A and B are shown apart, each in its own frame.
Chain A
Amino acid sequence: MATKSKAAFGYVTKAGYLNQKVEPPKYADYVIAELRYDKPIAYEASAFKAPAAAKKEADNLNQVLSHFDIANMGSLFGLGAAKVSKRVELAASLPSLPSGSTVEKRGGDPAFFQSNFVCIVPKCPSDAKRLAAALGKSEAVWGAYVAPRPVPAAATTGPASGSRNFEPSQGYLHSAPNGIGAMQVWDLAGAKGKGVTICDIEGAWNREHEDLPAGISLIGGDMLNDLGWRDHGTAVLGEMVARPNTFGAVGAAHEAKAVVHSAFFNQVFNLAGALSNAASKLKAGDVILIELQSTGPNGKYVAMQYWNDIFTAIKTAVSKGITVVEAAGNGDENFDLAIFKDTGLQKDSGAIVVGAGVPPTNYFDNANGYATIGAPRSRIWFSNYGNIVNVQAWGWHVTTLGYGDAQGGSEKSWYTLRFSGTSSASPIVTAAAACLQGRAKAKNGTPLTPAKLREILIKTGTPQEPGPGVPLSQKIGPQPNLASAMAKV
């Protein structure tokens, strides 16, 4: 049976994360015994029976049953007594150890093959294992085993019609060290981000996606009309606020309110203006996410706070009590180089800068085959790094909305298993920040300061690991662990 490790909101099972309660199976543990083709043995509700030729073997089986309290037995396939008895005739005519084709030639039909399987239900489920072992020793039985308990198909595949459920593959929600422990804390008041507004700043979103909450407002700027950018924004929102239901994904802070702001005004790129405008519409305790990068002086992508107008805008937002989360960027750049002295890459803007870490299960697939991309929680080769990079999260193959590689159909029902980059890492941290602020407001009546929130995430996180070619000196920081962080609120 799938094992539960948490029952407050959802469940971690061997099949993955389930957001709905799993009803116990109809039957307790029971044994399936497969009779040999050539043994002319039938069975009734409480015993095996056989003509004289096989009476001894039937008696042996009944002897085994006598050591247990049997609730019921019968055909595994629900065959009636007549069909079960009929197997005796054919079995008696078969040579020892007949092949399947021999059985068929002698008249063995599907019912005959099915009649070999006996279902035996002990009154005490814990007897099933011993009963199976004892029956398995009989010469009349090919094999006997405890029937596997089913996991409801709906738990991993969603409803019979409509979109599938991809929540089992959202490992980043699971407990540390693998994930950020979001599921662990969801039962705490406020810890799903309630009362917190998250503003994602980039360029386009599909706000009509079936798994997003209704009413996500564009609070400033103009959307780009581009599918790639729209998929990206949709994926980002999905990680944070996708609705909890029986299909799609679930956001780590799915009770937070999401709004979006474009960094483009009348086709002019102005992230600083977007930050300032967004901050003017938010309140202390809210969270802004910067999902952009641009090319630095070495020709590599860097975090946006490198530019002074943006650095200043971040500082201003943070001074208002708004937490700003910023993607470090995918330039494989070292922010501690001398060339960045006195720039925003070596100064504290107050933002939480996020690097891309290797998730626990990972591979790089291309025309040459598959290869792992590194040790869990080590820096992914493309992630920027340095002293200002505070924390990391999954930067590879994050399951969320958009793109359509996991499920196609209309754009509003697209899902992906492959969202990657500091792009995928940053929303995880943003959602973690929203969960903490929601909890702080519920518990203390007031949000944390951005500095305190960042400090908690860093101090309670799961440490970065070294990997081949990516030593710890290439700092991207720890992965947030909300289970530990909540204790500090």
Chain B
Amino acid sequence: MQPAIPVPGHAGVRLPIVVELKKGWHYEEASGSFAHGRQRFDPAEALPAGAQVTQRFPAGSIPPRTTQERELARFVQLVLPPDDVPAKYLDLVQRWPCVANAYVIPPPSLPSLPQA
């Protein structure tokens, strides 16, 4: 038995693809593309309509002053439309030139026992 309280289905929680960019790459919100010097990579064509790319760390929470904060800025997330399955795109995303690593964190749960 592994005690857990799962995320309720009715909550409609979505699991993004977490993308860790290669060093030197960053996401430009204005253009919607990944950039590294003069290199650009536009993910839009590879993703379904309605997919969103956002910084993993909410804007304003990470003024990148330290090395660790710059590390945080390397993480972005791809949020797919509600009916799409993130795992379906994982192999594709991992092959992008800007991507060091990509994964989907499985649904979270609370580490406790459900009570009647």
A residues in contact (CB < 8 Å) with B: 202-203, 220, 224-226, 228-229, 231-232, 235, 263-265, 267-273, 276-277, 279-280, 291-295, 300-301, 304, 307-310, 312-313, 315-316, 319, 327-332, 382, 403, 405, 416, 418-424, 426
- Interface membership of B96, Cβ < 8 A: no
Apart from A226-B8, A301-B111: 17 A-B pairs, beta carbons within 8 A: A224-B8, A229-B5, A264-B11, A267-B14, A270-B77, A273-B61, A293-B109, A294-B107, A301-B109, A308-B20, A319-B68, A327-B111, A382-B1, A421-B110, A421-B113, A423-B112, A426-B111
Instruction: Specify which chain A residues have a CB less than 8 angstroms from the CB of B2 in the assembled complex.
Output: 300-301, 330-332, 382
Cβ 8 A contact of A293, one of B4, B69, B79, B101 = B4
**A-B pairs with the 4 shortest C-beta distances?**
A423-B112, A421-B112, A295-B106, A280-B61
- Interface membership of B24, Cβ < 8 A: no
User: Which secondary structure characterizes the binding site on chain A?
Assistant: mixed
Residue contact A268 to B57, C-beta cutoff 8 Å = no
Residue contact A229 to B8, C-beta cutoff 8 Å = yes
- Interface membership of B66, Cβ < 8 A: yes
User: Which secondary structure characterizes the binding site on chain B?
Assistant: loop
- Contact-residue bracket for chain B: 35 or more
Residue contact A330 to B3, C-beta cutoff 8 Å = yes
Residue contact A269 to B10, C-beta cutoff 8 Å = no
Could you give 21 example pairs across A and B, Cβ below 8 Å?
A: A203-B7, A220-B58, A225-B10, A225-B11, A229-B5, A229-B110, A232-B110, A263-B108, A270-B16, A270-B77, A271-B105, A271-B108, A277-B57, A292-B108, A295-B106, A301-B2, A301-B4, A307-B18, A309-B75, A405-B115, A423-B110
Closest to A403 in B: B115
Within the assembled complex, what's the spacing in Å between the Cα atoms of A268 and B71?
Answer: 22
Within the assembled complex, what's the spacing in Å between the Cα atoms of A296 and B79?
Answer: 21
- Interface membership of B40, Cβ < 8 A: no
Query: A265-B58, A272-B57, A405-B115 are contacts. A312–B71 as well, Cβ < 8 Å?
Result: yes
Closest to A307 in B: B105
- Interface membership of B87, Cβ < 8 A: no
Closest to A381 in B: B1
Residue contact A276 to B11, C-beta cutoff 8 Å = no
Closest to B116 in A: A405
- Shortest distance between the CB of B44 and any CB in chain A (Å): 19
- Interface membership of B12, Cβ < 8 A: yes
- Interface membership of B92, Cβ < 8 A: no
- Interface membership of B15, Cβ < 8 A: yes
- Shortest distance between the CB of B25 and any CB in chain A (Å): 15
Instruction: Specify which chain B residues have a CB less than 8 angstroms from the CB of A422 in the assembled complex.
Output: 111-112
Instruction: Specify which chain B residues have a CB less than 8 angstroms from the CB of A300 in the assembled complex.
Output: 2
Closest to A327 in B: B111
- Shortest distance between the CB of B97 and any CB in chain A (Å): 19
Residue contact B15 to A269, C-beta cutoff 8 Å = yes
Instruction: Specify which chain B residues have a CB less than 8 angstroms from the CB of A203 in the assembled complex.
Output: 7, 110
- Shortest distance between the CB of B81 and any CB in chain A (Å): 12
Instruction: Specify which chain A residues have a CB less than 8 angstroms from the CB of B109 in the assembled complex.
Output: 292-294, 301
**Per-position contact with A for B73-115: 1 when CB-CB < 8 Å, else 0?**
0010101000000000000000000000101011111111111
- Shortest distance between the CB of A12 and any CB in chain B (Å): 28
Closest to A383 in B: B111
- Shortest distance between the CB of A313 and any CB in chain B (Å): 7
Residue contact B113 to A420, C-beta cutoff 8 Å = yes
Within the assembled complex, what's the spacing in Å between the Cα atoms of A267 and B7?
Answer: 11
Instruction: Specify which chain A residues have a CB less than 8 angstroms from the CB of B46 in the assembled complex.
Output: none
Within the assembled complex, what's the spacing in Å between the Cα atoms of A288 and B108?
Answer: 18
Query: A269-B105, A307-B103 are contacts. A291–B110 as well, Cβ < 8 Å?
Result: yes
Within the assembled complex, what's the spacing in Å between the Cα atoms of A330 and B113?
Answer: 9
Instruction: Specify which chain B residues have a CB less than 8 angstroms from the CB of A272 in the assembled complex.
Output: 18, 56-57, 72, 75
Residue contact A276 to B62, C-beta cutoff 8 Å = yes
Closest to A231 in B: B115
Instruction: Specify which chain A residues have a CB less than 8 angstroms from the CB of B18 in the assembled complex.
Output: 272, 307, 309
- Shortest distance between the CB of B99 and any CB in chain A (Å): 13
Cβ 8 A contact of A294, one of B60, B75, B105, B113 = B105
Cβ 8 A contact of B111, one of A267, A307, A403, A423 = A423
Instruction: Specify which chain B residues have a CB less than 8 angstroms from the CB of A423 in the assembled complex.
Output: 110-112
Instruction: Specify which chain B residues have a CB less than 8 angstroms from the CB of A231 in the assembled complex.
Output: 115
Instruction: Specify which chain B residues have a CB less than 8 angstroms from the CB of A220 in the assembled complex.
Output: 58
Query: A268-B77, A276-B62, A313-B72 are contacts. A330–B111 as well, Cβ < 8 Å?
Result: yes
